[in-house]
Structure 1
Amino acid sequence: MAAGSGQLLLSPSLLHNYTRLRLISLPAHRKLQPLPYSVALGIFCVPTNSCTYKNLTVRIMTLKILVVLTLLNVVNGSPVVTVTPGSSSVDLSAHPNSVPNTAGEGNQTSNGEEVAVELLDTVEDVMATVELIPDHFPAQRAAHVVRHYLNTLYGSPYRWVGLQQVYSAKSEDVESGKKYQLEISVQEMISNTKEHCSAEVVFPGEEVKSAPQVNASCEALLKINTTAQEEALYEQYKTSQLSTNNLPDSYGHIDNSMKPFWQLGGVAASFVMLNESTENTLYNMAQVANVTQLETENNHLRFNYHILLHEMISQEIIHWKMLVTWAPAEGVNVLQTEQLPKCHECVVPTML
């Protein structure tokens, strides 16, 4: 405070505490990037592809940070010293950074520390959650992970889930990695059924090599009745030996009789794509290079699939082999997977 004025001055130590507060509220590995100076006191932003803080949120955060910093000055000391009327008995010969001792100071400092801690926790909570732009890469990659997860639960040759739209997405750092909260709509691409879903995806930290953890429920997908088509396909190929290549072909064409095996390949590919997904990948199946039916075992149709995955960030085409089983009552299972050497000359096939 300026003496007798009742106005708050932003001292050099206050600005120092602001910088210190920002540094301690972010993980050590993050870099800071200043937003335009028009934002009060230069609020900083962790650089992501969609770092979008609402203006109101920024203003609230700024106010809270200023209050915390003011209290930190009370606790830690400041070059700006308040002299009030009747304080002539205060010893001003002490070090210039010291706060004069006055009656009741101990209680004020203790209360200031408690309020500062509470406000600091509030600021950290606000800063921890980032609202993402739905159409941008961070939100899309998490939403596609949900799509792959749903295929592993509900997929069949006649039920193949695709992502339709991301309505909203938020991310936050958690102890186990980074968590995404999503509001999306998915589409069952054969019946054209659409459903709104809420989902949560947790990508593990870089040091952990495991699949993302997904929590989502879209039970309306189970209401799509595919029993008749699945039973007919199962009976047709129960004693057959299917073998075909290039779904789709170089012109983007898939024969109608082969579409169930293209769709089955897409569902099975979701098992691989879910397991391989990270915060830096975005997968889609580009082609079934080959599918060969094996002997039926335990009433399950068995297939060897050779698929091409398109990793859309690096633009790589990645070859995988899978041993896939399917029966109408048991659903799709992927028993074995093998990644083949990368093909740098491969071209993404033309899609329908």
Structure 2
Amino acid sequence: MATGELNPNHYPAQRAAKAVQHYLNTLYGSPYRVIFLNRVHSGYAEDVADSGRKYKLEITVQDHISNKTENCTAEVLFPGGEQQRPPQVQASLEELPTTDTKAEEEALFQKYKTNQGVLSEHLPDSHGHVDPDMEPFLHLGSAASSFIMLNESTENTLYNVAQVANVTQLKTENDQLKFDYYVLLHDMISQEIIHWKLLFTWSPQEGVKVLQMEKLPHSHHDETPQNNN
């Protein structure tokens, strides 16, 4: 792996920057906020004795829903050793790149807290359509998938969401909405489509709390990835 100044457009800098994207989504992702990498401005890599490789980055991130952007300074440490461990990320944003979503989040929460068990949808449906009422759950699944992608990220991967395929609402527990998602992730390096089951809770106050991430067996009929994340 290269050290020193990095080409912002090459894989080493892009991989580290993607880890920052996933990290920010684990903190701030919601049905009305999904953060994507917009651009890598600069990157620097150095070996850290007995720890791994550290990347220092200047990037721009973008809220997919509002399209607002914000500059971000970050450090990403990919741990060394034979055992795979998630990268350690520190990131500094001046403010979230989005408009205030509290009212929309609270309205969605109250609606589905009252109508438990009514949600079980394919996203998109068999005609490739996503109902506008289901778009917040498409966004929520995309943001929550960052927990998987951050956990699985290494210096040899580059993950995107290929498809949020299915969402089922489960019985509410501890005043949190609970969901079972089926998602397909695309590793840009290996071109592999990886199927995952994701169980998590969400509320406007607590955000996304992952309960279980399960990697599923390979399918012989993998869907074509849509690299929109």
2:37 counterpart (137, 147, 163): 163
Query: Counterpart of 1:292?
Result: 168
Aligned CA distance change for structure 1 residues 314 and 223 (closer, same or farther; 3 Å): closer
Q: Which runs of 4+ in 1 moved over 4 A?
A: 249-252, 349-352
Q: Which residue of 1 aligns with 2:104?
A: 229
Matched residue, 2:139 = 263
Distance 1:286 1:219 in 2: 30
Secondary structure of 2:114's partner? coil
More helix by share: 1
The CA deviation at 1:277 is: 0.3
CA distances 1:266-306 after superposition (whole Å, capped 9, x unpaired): 11100010000000001111112211001111110000111
Name the amino acid aligned to 1:224: T
Distance 1:274 1:157, change over 3 A: same
Select which of 106, 114, 119 maps to 1:242: 119
Match of 1:207 among 75, 78, 82: 82
What CA distance in whole angstroms lies between the structure 1 residues aligned with 2:126 and 2:41? 34
Count of aligned positions:
225
| TM-score with structure 2 setting the length | 0.92
Corresponding letter in the other structure for 1:312 = M
For the pair shown, the structure with the greater C-alpha radius of gyration is 1
1:273 aligns with 2:149: yes
Q: List per-residue Cα deviations over 1:225-282 (Å, max 9, x = no partner).
A: 101110111111112220001x235775422111101111011100010000000001
Aligned partners of 1:239, 1:206: CA distance in 2, in Å? 48
| TM-superposition CA deviations, 1:67-116 (whole Å, max 9, x none) | xxxxxxxxxxxxxxxxxxxxxxxxxxxxxxxxxxxxxxxxxxxxxxxxxx
Asked whether the 8 Å contact 2:4–2:45 carries over to 1, the reply is: yes
- Structure 1 residues 309 and 199, CA gap change in structure 2 (3 angstroms): same
Distance 1:327 1:136 in 2: 37
Contact 1:285 1:309 in 2 (8 A): yes
Instruction: Rate the CA distance shift 1:249–1:178 in 2: closer, same or farther, 3 A.
Output: farther
TM-score (norm 1): 0.61
How far does the alpha carbon of each residue in 1:9-42 deviate from its partner, in whole angstroms, 9 at most, with x for none?
Answer: xxxxxxxxxxxxxxxxxxxxxxxxxxxxxxxxxx
Q: 1:350 to 1:286 in 2, by over 3 A?
A: closer
Residue 42 of structure 1: aligned partner: none
Unpaired runs of 5+ residues, structure 2, are none
Is residue 2:55 matched to residue 1:180? yes
Unpaired segments ≥5 residues, structure 1: 1-47, 52-128
Deviation of 1:222 (Å): 7.6
Change (3 A) 1:184 1:350: closer
Q: Which has the higher strand share?
A: 2
Which amino acid in 2 is paired with 1:313? I
Preserved contact between residue 248 and residue 349 of structure 1 (Cα < 8 Å): no
Whichever residue aligns with residue 171 of structure 2, its letter is: E
Specify the alignment match of 2:12 in structure 1.
138
Residues 141 and 279 in structure 1, CA contact (< 8 A), matched pair in contact too = yes
